[in-house]
Amino acid sequence: MAGVTLSAATRQNLLSLQDTASLTSSTQNRLSTGKRVSSALDNPTNFFTSQSLSNRSSDLSSLLDNISNSVQTIQAANQGITSIQKLVDSAKSTATQALATQITTTGTASTAFAKPTGATTVSLLVNGTATSASLASGDSIDQAITKLNTAVGGQGAGNAFTKDVTGTKIVMSASADVEFANTTDQTTLGFAAGSGVAAKYGSVSAANQSGDLTVSGVKERAALATQYNSLLTQIDQLARDSSYNGVNLVSSSASTNKMHITFNENDTSNLDVQGVDATSGGLSLKPINPDSGSTADGKGSFLLDGDVKTTVNSLISATLTLRSQASTFGSNLSVVQNRQDFTKRIANVLDTGSSKLTDADLNEEAANSQALTTRQSLGISALSLANQAQQGVLQLLR
């Protein structure tokens, strides 16, 4: 108060107590907040530098969720390719099995061969391809066999015709599906008129199968072709299901099918993962159509070895494509995982740096608090001693 006069010693001790109280308040604030710089007033440079570091750490940390989703999306795509590769291997096994399934036509004519009384044409279908043998009037069985073998040999049936031990009946042992175009062609060679199910190649039909002949391998190969088509359908379905969070990187190779991954707060560091087409169409795998080809002759049902080998080669090419795609995704995954780990670590570095600029040393502040408490007690005692001189004067007045 303005009307009170304090001695120099008392005023000095009072100022010391006020300073101690101020330091105690500051220390207690640091202990309660854990910060030695809690506002720009405490230390503008440290405060704003720390805030900048914390903001960047926060920005980077917010990118981690997107990076994590990207990692899962690439893993889903890679898993899809791995599973598709297994289906391609199964399809290759199916095609190879078809190639190993031998098609044969065997049997002996039930009637002895009779020399033609006039020029006769025997029309045949070898694995669905039409051919014919022209028999002249009076041709012997040996001459007929030679002409027949010339006709079917060019279609891959080999020397399909021979004669039996009696030398009078024609025997067929062909490494192909040999059918007669009509019933009279069968009886011309001594085979019984057909009564079984007629073979059909697309729009071309053969005569009903002669009871003297047995064809094997055709139905088996057709069943394997159906199985092959089913595997292609599974490949397409699996590719469509290889998505994560609505993003699918293996169902289309369109330029719009890509995933953009941002690695820093300004998007100046990023990665575009381009999608691929791992469907059967994208791998150039075509279904086996029984009526495929310009003549729709049904040779698509794995009937011809050449067609099956072409299919096997396309599957080998698909395998190489899938391996290349898997390698690309693996490389991208490695990059994204590395950046994910880097982002976590750099955010930690930024947070640590920010803390060092503003955080208080609680051990030091606790020690300061104890020291200030002691100093305050000593100040109060010193103030009491400074007032003892005035207390002596008070005693004289009493």
Higher-pLDDT residue of 104, 381:
104
pLDDT of residue 150: 93
Burial of 87 (0-12, 13-18, 19+ CB in 10 A): buried
pTM for the whole structure? 0.74
Residues in a beta bridge with 260: 272
Q: Tokens for 136? A: 């002249």
For residue range 301-320, list pLDDT tens digits in order: 888 888 889 999 999 999 99
* 170 neighbors 115 (Cβ within 8 angstroms): no
Please answer whether residues 319 and 84 qualify as being in contact, where contact means their C-beta atoms are separated by less than 8 angstroms: no
In one letter, which amino acid is 280? S
pLDDT given for residue 33 in this prediction? 59
- Residue type at 275? G
Give pLDDT tens digits for 221-250.
989 999 999 999 999 999 999 999 889 999
pLDDT at residue number 304: 82
Q: Are 174 and 68 in contact (CB under 8 A)?
A: no
Amino acid (one-letter) located at 14: L
User: Which of 104-113, 198-207, 257-266, 377-386 has the weakest average pLDDT?
Assistant: 377-386
β-bridge mates for residue 214, sequence order:
106
Higher pLDDT, 35 or 325: 325
The confidence band for 300, taking pLDDT boundaries of 50, 70 and 90, is confident
User: What integer pLDDT is reported at residue 5 of this predicted model?
Assistant: 62
Q: CA separation (Å) from 364 to 31, 36, 235, 370?
A: 10, 11, 67, 10
Is the pLDDT assigned to residue 380 strictly greater than 80?
no
Token output for 357? 């600029």
CA distance 187 to 193: 6
pLDDT greater at residue 341 or residue 26: 341
What are the distances in angstroms from CA 114 to CA 117, 182, 258?
9, 18, 73
What's the pLDDT score for residue 152?
92
DSSP lists the bridge partners of residue 68 as none
How high is the mean pLDDT of the chain? 84
CA distance 239 to 229: 16
Structure-model confidence comparison of residues 153 and 378, the more confident one: 153
Q: Are 58 and 234 in contact (CB under 8 A)?
A: no
Tell me: the pLDDT tens digits for 87-132?
A: 999 999 999 999 999 999 999 999 999 999 889 999 999 888 889 9
Higher model confidence: residue 66 or residue 25?
66
Top-confidence range, 22-31, 344-353, 354-363: 344-353
State residue 201 phi and psi, 5-degree precision. -120, 90
Is the pLDDT assigned to residue 137 strictly greater than 80?
yes
**Structural domains of the chain, with CATH:** 58-101+220-352 (1.20.1330.10), 104-216 (no CATH)
Mean pLDDT of 191-216: 85
The pLDDT of residue 28 is 62
pLDDT at 361 over 60: no
User: How far apart, in whole angstroms, are the C-alpha atoms of residue 258 and residue 276?
Assistant: 9
Q: What is the mean pLDDT of residues 194-208?
A: 79
CA torsion sign for 266, 271, 277, 278 is: negative
Q: How many residues does the structure list for the chain?
A: 398
Q: Which residues pair with 244 in a beta bridge?
A: 247
Q: CA angle 367-370-374, nearest 5°?
A: 140
Tokens linked to 137: 């009037």
d(C-alpha 187, C-alpha 194), whole Å: 9
Q: Is the pLDDT of residue 392 over 70?
A: no
> What is the Rg, in whole angstroms, of the alpha carbon atoms belonging to the chain?
48
Share of the chain above pLDDT 90, in %: 48
DSSP string across 317-366? HHHHHHHHHHHHHHHHHHHHHHHHHHHHHHHHHHHHHHHHHHB--HHHHH
